[in-house]
Every structure is written in C-alpha cells, then in structure tokens.
Structure 1
Amino acid sequence: MSISLNSDQERLIQAKLQSGKYRSAEEVLEVALRLLDEYDRADAEWVKEVREKIDAALEASTQTPPIDGETFVNQILERFQQGNRA
C-alpha cells in the first residue's frame, strides 16, 4: 500500500524521528495505528456502557412513580449538598 502525506503530517513524522524515540516513519505509523485501534476499542466500550446505563435507567423508570420537574431538581440539589458536607 502506498499513502500520501500532507506537509503537516510529514513534519509531524519528521519531528518524531528527530526526537530519537522512533527509528523510522513506519514505526511512527505503527504506533499511531495501534493507538487509533485502542482509541476505537475504548470508544466502542464506552458507548456500550452508556447504552447499558440508559437501558437500566429506562427499566428503573418503569418501576418508580413519575415526579414533577421541580421536585426532581430539588432532590438532585439536596443530594449534591449532602455530598459536599461529607
């Protein structure tokens, strides 16, 4: 595979090489691609966890009676204030 880099990308790779931490442009790209893969996996895991929390909250909401917005906000503020006293 052949890729083309813009001038900013080339400068970034050159700066990494000049730092002495990497021996070749290929090594810089290997690290970058590994980190991108790790980021994508972490992002997918975060999305999964958020979806699970939303599903749990929706399920819990079917088990509790509804409350008006003012009561809800006041309860949150009260819990926040109690947390600051601890």
Structure 2
Amino acid sequence: MPRVEKISVAITSEMAAMMREVVETGEYASASEVMREALRDWRLRRRQREQAVDELRRLWDEGVDSGPATDGNEAFARLSARLAPKFSEK
C-alpha cells in the first residue's frame, strides 16, 4: 500500500453527517475510505473532462482543416435543388 499521509479537510455539516451515516451503516469502514473514493471519482471525472476537451479540440481542428465554411441556407438550397427531381418523380 502506498504511503499514507494524514491531512485535515473542512467540510460542511451536511457532508459530515452524510459521511458519518455511511460509516455507521457499514457501507464504508471509515471516513477516510469515503474521502478516498470521493477523490478517485473526482480524478476520474477530471480525466473524462480532459478527454472530452481533447476530442473537441480534435474535432475543431478537423473542421478548420476541412476547408472554408459554407452558409447553411445556401447548402440546404443546393441540396433541395438536387433532391427535388427525385421526389417529383414519385
């Protein structure tokens, strides 16, 4: 097991009550165990957020590299003009 460092953390009375409750019910063995799991979850959410930001950056770069932007109304007008004959044949 890695070296354990004892620190002091200030939390709200509501958080302290929740922590005591889960320890008292046996869901966790100690308040430290609750805090360790909370920090692991926090670290996971941070990693997921970083991955999401990296993916957005990649998609942004892909969009920029794909060429100049096209006006949406013009694009839909061209698409409609191209598809109109197919729908009028039916």
State if a TM-score over 0.5 links the two structures.
Answer: yes
Matched, 1:38 2:44: yes
Moved more, 49-58 or 4-13: 4-13
Distance between the aligned counterparts of 2:71 and 2:42, measured in 1?
44
* Higher helix proportion: 1
Query: What are the ranges of 5 or more consecutive residues in structure 2 without an aligned counterpart?
Result: 1-6, 80-90
Q: 1:20, CA displacement in angstroms? A: 1.9
The alignment covers a number of residue pairs equal to 72
TM-score (normalizing by structure 1): 0.70
Structure 2 partner of 1:6: 12
Deviations 1:9-47, CA, capped at 9 Å, x for gaps: 101212222342201000000000011011101110110
What is the CA RMSD across the aligned residues, in angstroms?
1.9
Q: 1:72, CA displacement in angstroms? A: 3.7
Matched, 1:70 2:73: yes
Q: Which residue, out of 48, 51, 54, partners 2:54?
A: 48
The percentage of counterpart residues that share the same residue type is 25
**One-letter code of the match for 1:60?**
S
Matched, 1:57 2:63: yes
The higher radius of gyration belongs to 2
